[in-house]
C-alpha cells in the first residue's frame, strides 16, 4: 500500500500559500504525513500581472492577510511588485532532485515575503539556492536551459485535471486496489494546523 501523502499546490506570490506553509511544515516535522509541494502559476506568461497597489490587493492585505499572518506568527511584508514565478518553481523542482525541496521552498517564500527579493530573477534564485545548500553553478545551468520546465508543467496539468483554479489547494492522496496513487480528498484555502491535522488523521 502506498504511503498517504499531502500535496500542496501553491504559488510563491500567493500570500495565502505563504500562510499555508506554516501548518504543512509542522505536520512534516511531526512526521504525521509525507508533505510535498506542487507548482501552480497564478500569472503564467501571457496572463496580466496585477499591480500590488490595486485597490483590491491593498484591501485584501489590510483586512485579511496582515491579521492572519500576525495570528499565525508568520513574518510578512507587503511586496513592492509581483514577479512571474515559473523560474522559482523550476528552482524548487531542481532542489527536489537534490533532496532540498522543503528547504528551497521555504527559502523562496522568505526571500519574497520577508526580504522583498525578486524571485522571478535567475540570479536571485541562484543566490537563494546557494544559501539552501545547492550547487549554484548547477542550479544556474538548470534554470538557463529550462531543464525542469517539464516537471513544472506536469504539476500544472495535474492541477488542471483536478479542476483547481485557485491556491493553496491541499490534495490528500491514497492508493487504489492496484497500489496506484489517487486523490482521496481535496481542500482549497488556508487550513490551520488543527484543521489540517484532523483532516489528515481521518483520511
Written as tens digits, the pLDDT of the chain (203 aa) is 356 789 999 999 999 999 998 888 888 889 888 899 999 999 999 999 999 999 999 999 999 999 999 998 999 999 999 999 999 999 999 999 999 999 999 999 999 999 999 999 999 999 999 999 999 999 999 999 999 999 999 999 999 999 998 999 999 986 444 444 466 788 999 988 999 999 988 86
Confirm if 101 and 37 have CB atoms less than 8 A apart: yes
Q: Which numeric CATH code is attached to 5-202?
A: 3.40.30.10
Q: What is the pTM of this model?
A: 0.91
Ordered by start, the domain boundaries in the chain are: 5-202
Check if the beta carbon of residue 40 is closer than 8 Å to that of residue 167. Answer: yes
Contact 103, 139 (CB under 8 A): no
Counting beta carbons within 10 angstroms of the beta carbon of residue 63, is it exposed (0 to 12), middle (13 to 18) or buried (19 or more)? exposed
Amino acid at each position: 500500500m502506498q504511503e498517504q501523502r499531502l500535496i500542496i499546490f501553491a504559488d510563491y506570490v500567493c500570500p495565502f500559500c505563504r500562510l499555508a506553509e506554516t501548518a504543512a511544515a509542522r505536520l512534516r516535522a511531526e512526521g504525521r504525513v509525507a508533505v510535498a509541494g506542487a507548482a501552480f502559476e497564478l500569472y503564467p506568461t501571457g496572463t496580466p500581472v496585477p499591480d500590488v497597489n490595486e485597490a483590491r490587493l491593498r484591501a485584501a492585505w489590510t483586512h485579511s492577510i496582515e491579521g492572519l499572518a500576525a495570528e499565525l506568527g508568520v513574518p510578512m511584508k507587503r511586496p513592492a511588485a509581483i514577479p512571474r514565478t515559473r523560474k522559482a518553481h523550476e528552482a524548487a523542482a531542481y532542489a527536489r532532485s537534490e533532496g532540498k525541496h522543503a528547504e528551497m521552498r521555504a527559502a523562496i517564500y522568505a526571500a519574497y515575503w520577508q526580504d522583498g527579493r525578486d524571485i522571478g530573477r535567475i540570479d536571485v534564485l541562484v543566490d537563494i539556492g546557494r544559501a539552501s545548500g545547492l550547487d549554484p553553478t548547477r542550479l544556474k545551468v538548470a534554470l538557463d536551459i529550462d531543464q525542469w520546465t517539464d516537471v513544472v508543467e506536469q504539476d500544472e496539468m495535474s492541477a488542471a485535471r483536478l479542476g483547481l483554479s485557485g491556491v493553496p489547494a491541499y490534495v490528500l492522496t491514497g492508493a487504489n486496489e492496484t497500489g496506484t496513487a489517487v486523490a482521496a480528498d481535496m481542500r482549497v484555502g488556508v487550513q490551520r494546523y488543527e484543521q489540517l491535522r484532523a483532516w489528515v488523521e481521518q483520511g
